[in-house]
Amino acid sequence: MSGKELEKFGAYQYAGFWARTGASLIDTVILLCVSTPLLFLVYGDEAQHSDSWLMGGDFIISYVMPLIATILFWIYKSATPGKMVIKAMVLDSKTGAKLSTKQAIIRYLAYFISAIPFGLGFFWVAWDGKKQGWHDKIAGTVVIRPKH
């Protein structure tokens, strides 16, 4: 939704850099609380991982599971748990509707583009008028939350 479209929703504002950073930290803690015990179940307390079949479990737990969970949260709740805590929503920037599955997948994959140049695409939220990171611009999304 454009700036003028957002004004129609007078009770909302674009979620800024620090709020979104806090939400990401909450999501990271939750993810660690889920993935660490699962990884321990797969590997035990061994420091070295020599069995190649175990690496598949690591890949699923560390990469596939977060991808699926994040995309499902965006599609069905318009927010990850961290964004829910700050009462933020990830929406289509043009319509204000929930994300499509395609849009959610593009947004997730675009995180890697945002991260590559020293996280510049994430820091972009601090300077952008709509508080969009590169991943938001690529996927056509905005993150909004109620005004205080």
User: How big is the CA angle at 81 (ends 75 and 87), to the nearest 5 degrees?
Assistant: 90
Phi, psi of 141 (to 5 degrees): -125, 160
Three-state DSSP class for residue 9 = coil
Tokens standing for residue 101: 């599955």
Task: Provide the whole-model pTM.
Answer: 0.84
Q: Of 138, 131, 137, 139, nearest to 23 (Cα)? A: 131
Per the structure, the count of domains in the chain is 1
The residue range of the domain holding 89 is: 3-146
Tens-digit pLDDT profile for the chain (148 aa)? 445 555 545 689 999 999 999 999 999 999 999 999 988 887 776 645 555 555 677 888 989 999 999 999 999 999 999 999 999 999 999 999 999 999 999 999 999 999 998 999 999 999 999 999 999 999 999 999 999 7
